[in-house]
Structure 1
Amino acid sequence: MNRVVHPIEEESYRRMRARLDTTHLPPLSRAVVERVVHSAADLGYADDLVLDEGELARAHTALHSGAPVVADVEMVAAGITRHPTVCRLRDAVAAAGLTRSAHAVRLAYEQVGPGALWVIGNAPTALEELLTLDAAPALVIGLPVGFVGAVESKAALRASGLPAVSNVSEKGGSAVASAALNALLYHPVPRSEETS
């Protein structure tokens, strides 16, 4: 995806890279780490994120091949640039032991089916609900924030064996979750993928 980068963003990345060496990371991992760190101005994410280059490569291919993107909340959806997203939170209701966020995940899954990229930056209960479904995701960006359930839901994501980007601390949120997805959106598509 061709994108014009504003000089302020270029300078911000230059300053970040002067303080954080990511050159040892493979390309997609580096892109995700740098964009997440940049979105939060928090260098600690470099040691907090858990990701796998092979999973990112498969997700990158799926994303650029048209796989749907699902966001848990409108703030995550708003942060994902130049790509349509599905967010069903407005249609969801809290009932029968489900939070609105968990119900929204069910509604979104009914809409998109398996193979989507899921971007969860707000609600641990959304991530917990996703793990109960047979969603066969291309990737789960599981970065919910908070002191109740966030760490546990991210640990459950990592234990599930699903392809994922997560972190080990309570940190997270809409901005960092959408930044992780945007890193995959902005990363160039190899020529062999463009022609296939």
Structure 2
Amino acid sequence: MKNTANTTGSARVVHPIEQESFRRLRSRLDTSHFPPLTRAVVERVIHSAADLDYARDLVTDEESLVRGHAALHAGAPVVVDVEMVAAGITRRETVCRLKDAKSAAGLTRSAHAIRLAYEQVGPGALWVIGCAPTALEELLLLDARPALVIGLPVGFVGAVESKEALRASGLPAVSNVSEKGGSAVASAALNALLYHPAAPAAAERPEEIK
């Protein structure tokens, strides 16, 4: 499955409601101390979930975000684990192989979909996992050499452990510590990089990008 909506590179028009939402967010939380791309990711994730705790829960690395941002804007493939993540990424084509995947003994459909996606895109992709911990676990078994992994699966079983394993892997990543996560916040993290200008230092605030 591919999501091909709004991939023409047209300027993004920011709705006044979104501008006001970010204004209120910043009135309640000082994000000015974050580096530019970290700030963009933190703010957009918080905006997507209306959850200020993500400022403490998210684990990011600015250098990894800079490299992932560059790869994204250079056209690297974007792979998602479920269609709900793809639906949230409206300005970039994505790859989702869940419809083609099958479960087997010791292998979930989500994990199989990751295998199929890797066979399709190879190394250097950005991986956005917002639903299934088993998808993230499978990715860590592959020699995917990702540009960036946004690993934010949600749930009480396996989510925390899979994100711990992602951080321990040393791969360039965005993750969080708690059981929280989900498709909306995972796509928001990717969108933060999409909406940020190609030169990271050019602007720090997502709603200022026209």
The bucket for the TM-score relative to the shorter chain is over 0.9
Displacement of 1:60 in angstroms is 0.4
1:48 maps to 2:49: no
Specify which of 4, 8, 14 is matched with residue 5 of structure 1: 14
Secondary structure of residue in 2 paired with 1:131: helix
Matched ranges for 1:11-90 at <5 A: 11-90=20-99
What is the CA–CA distance in structure 2 between the aligned matches of 1:53 and 1:31, rounded to whole Å? Answer: 11
Displacement of 1:96 in angstroms is 2.9
1:112 maps to 2:138: no
Specify which of 193, 199, 207 is matched with residue 190 of structure 1: 199
Q: TM-score, normalised by structure 2?
A: 0.90
Aligned to 2:163: 154
Matched ranges for 1:107-186 at <5 A: 107-186=116-195
In structure 2, give the amino acid aligned to 1:145.
V
Q: TM-score, normalised by structure 1?
A: 0.96
Secondary structure of residue in 2 paired with 1:158: helix
What is the CA–CA distance in structure 2 between the aligned matches of 1:20 and 1:80, rounded to whole Å? Answer: 25
In structure 1, give the amino acid aligned to 2:22.
Y
| Structure 1 residues 191 and 11: CA distance shift in structure 2, 3 A | closer
Superimposed CA distance per residue, residues 100-135 of structure 1 (whole angstroms, 9 cap, x where no aligned partner) = 000000000000000000000000000000000000
Runs of 4+ in 1 over 3 A off after TM superposition: none
Superimposed CA distance per residue, residues 124-166 of structure 1 (whole angstroms, 9 cap, x where no aligned partner) = 0000000000000000000000000000000000000000000
Q: Unaligned 5+ residue runs, structure 1?
A: none
In structure 1, give the amino acid aligned to 2:182.
G
Identity %: 82
Displacement of 1:182 in angstroms is 0.2
In structure 2, give the amino acid aligned to 1:159.
A
In structure 1, give the amino acid aligned to 2:52.
L
